[in-house]
Amino acid sequence: MLKKFITKKHLVLYFIFIAITWLEAIITPTLVSMIIASFEKKILDDLWIALTVGIIGNLFILIGLAGKRYYYAKLVADFTWIMKYKLFEHFLYNKNSKKEDILSNLENDVKQLETSYLEPAVIIISSVGFTIVSIVYALTTNFWLGWIFIFFYSMPALCSGIGSKKLALISEEKATSNQEYLSQTTNIIGGESVIKNYGAMDFFYSLFRRALSKRIDQDIRYEQQRTINNILINSIDAFCSVVPIIIGGIMTYYNYLSGASFVAIYLVSHNIGYQFNELSYFINTYKSSKQLRNRYDFLLQDAIIQTDDLSSTSLFPILVDCVSLSFEDNILFENLSFEIKKGEKIALIGASGCGKSTLLNLIYGQLSPDLGKVTYAGQILNQEQVAKSASYILQDSYIFDGLSLEENITLGESMDNIKMDLILNRVNLEFLKGHLLYGNHLSGGEKQRIEIARSLYHNSDLILADEVKANLDKVNSKQISNILLTLPQTLVEVIHHYDEETLAQYDKVINLSQ
């Protein structure tokens, strides 16, 4: 995953600067050893040499630390950018993605992966390098004492798996609670007007508090488990830190090594101990991210998403042939057959729950019948092929805030000014030309006319309209009807409020209650 979500150049430069910081493993113990040796030998010149080594060495370390911080920030930026754009790309282009999860994935899971995967991964690599340099220095100073220190200071790292499975499980529960919290909050905010109209503030406030409490409890559980794991590992580390120092003191007392060498090995062993602590902590954290990483394995696939290969195809006549469909043991259609000819205006009517919207979804290719088939010009097409020549207008047309009227209509397609002017004139939207739109500043009728303009601009031969006039007043409802019924495109419209005069305007009326 690391290679796929960060820039190779930034990773290489980061590790170059990390390698420079490894000099710290050598410079400090060498410097102290030289100073002690100069005292033992009473040679003042060695102090000046030690001072020079210390100044030059620490300048290199400062350069390494500055580069390390800068390129770590670059790695985080790479990871966040690539991860988020791949997630959003998958959300937009994959029809099976869930919109209620995407915001939580973008804002919660990406951040959690940054702290529990990216940061531990690079720190583990850095610590391993620093530890290797320290070990080599210790072994070259005194081989046997070096091995004693290495053995005891490696124990915490070998025990780093303590509690990792439980931490991984809590990490997964934490991610789930984050999603549930965000979903619940979004749901409550979306229904604010309903909540206030019915005075249900106390009920939904309690739902919010419950979701928030669950999320915070999961955060606390995660940190508690991580703390318990680290206490156990650090207890082992404390014991292992003392034993080699005692052994080294005994060896120095019996003149098996000089005081300068013992201090140097002690200092470098302190570095080794600190690095093993870092390793045990971050290995534990890294392991806890496994389930979250597995969840996003699909982003590692290099499949190229094709969006423009499907060309518009003729849909007519559309034949609904002996279609049967049931939902939760409720039969919606049984042996339903009818034909939609090019240019026809068809009204779908019937009692609430009889399947009018479901039938639109069948025609649009979003659903498949239990029995029978829907053919388009004698062919069976998938939903993407149908969508190339059809538009689906819902009760609540969506407006993209901050985009112009033209951008809301073209949706990224190239702009044809003549075509746009003709369409705006047809749907009576010339007065909004060039304006930036905000949904809360538009009437329901204006939103529906923008949706109709979209379908016309994108050359839809078939318009499916699902109770588009249900939330409009009489004036706007009549205006939308006039526009839809005078278009040359084929129209299949679900209508709820109607009379004989209204139905007479359609070429065909299909009553699903009969």
Q: Which segment of 189-198, 219-228, 441-450 scores lowest on mean pLDDT?
A: 189-198
Q: Do domains 2-299 and 318-511 have the same CATH topology?
A: no
* Residue whose token pair is 């005292």: 39
The SS3 call for residue 272 is: helix
Q: Is the N-terminal amide bond of 29 cis, ω within 30° of 0?
A: no
Residue 444: which residues within 8 A CB-CB, separation 6 or more? 471, 472, 476
For residue 143, pLDDT beyond 50: yes
436-473 b/e (C-beta count within 10 Å ≥ 16 → b)? ebeeeebebbbbbbbbbbbbbbbebbbbbbbbbbeebe
For residue 108, pLDDT beyond 50: yes
First to last CA, the chain: 57
Confidence of residue 311 (pLDDT cuts 50, 70, 90): low
Give mean pLDDT, residues 433-438.
92
- For the beta carbon of residue 226, count every other beta carbon within 10 angstroms: 19
For residue 420, pLDDT beyond 60: yes
CATH classification number, 318-511, choose in 3.40.50.150, 3.40.50.300, 3.40.50.80, 3.30.360.10: 3.40.50.300
Higher-scoring residue by pLDDT: 147, 405: 405
| Mean pLDDT of the residues in the chain | 84
Higher-scoring residue by pLDDT: 161, 146: 146
Confidence of residue 100 (pLDDT cuts 50, 70, 90): low
pLDDT at position 340 is 93
Find, among 114, 20, 130, the residue nearest to 72 by Cα: 114
Half-sphere exposure of 143 (CA within 13 A, CB side): 0
Q: Could you read off the pLDDT of 238-284 as tens digits, one per residue?
A: 887 788 888 888 888 888 877 788 788 777 777 777 777 777 778 87
For residue 509, pLDDT beyond 50: yes
For residue 308, pLDDT beyond 50: no
Give mean pLDDT, residues 220-233.
87
In the chain, the amino acid numbered 385 is Q
Give mean pLDDT, residues 440-469.
87
CA–CA distance, 206 with 212 (Å, rounded to integer): 10
For residue 490, pLDDT beyond 90: yes
For residue 220, pLDDT beyond 90: yes
| Percent over 70 (pLDDT), the chain | 94
For residue 301, pLDDT beyond 70: no
For residue 305, pLDDT beyond 80: no
Q: Could you read off the pLDDT of 17-51 as tens digits, one per residue?
A: 999 998 888 887 888 888 887 777 777 777 788 78
Give mean pLDDT, residues 40-69.
85
Any bridge partners for residue 320, and if so which?
Answer: 338, 374
pLDDT at position 345 is 94
Secondary structure E strands in 157-288? none
Confidence of residue 157 (pLDDT cuts 50, 70, 90): low
For residue 304, pLDDT beyond 60: no
2-299 carries CATH number 3.40.50.2300: no
- Domain locations along the chain: 2-299, 318-511
For residue 307, pLDDT beyond 60: no
Q: Which segment of 75-84, 298-307, 406-415, 450-459 scores lowest on mean pLDDT?
A: 298-307
Q: Could you read off the pLDDT of 357-383 as tens digits, one per residue?
A: 889 999 998 888 989 999 999 899 888
CA–CA distance, 8 with 11 (Å, rounded to integer): 5
Give mean pLDDT, residues 417-433.
90
For residue 309, pLDDT beyond 70: no
Rounded to the nearest 5 degrees, what angle is found at the Cα of 318, between the Cα atoms of 316 and 320?
170
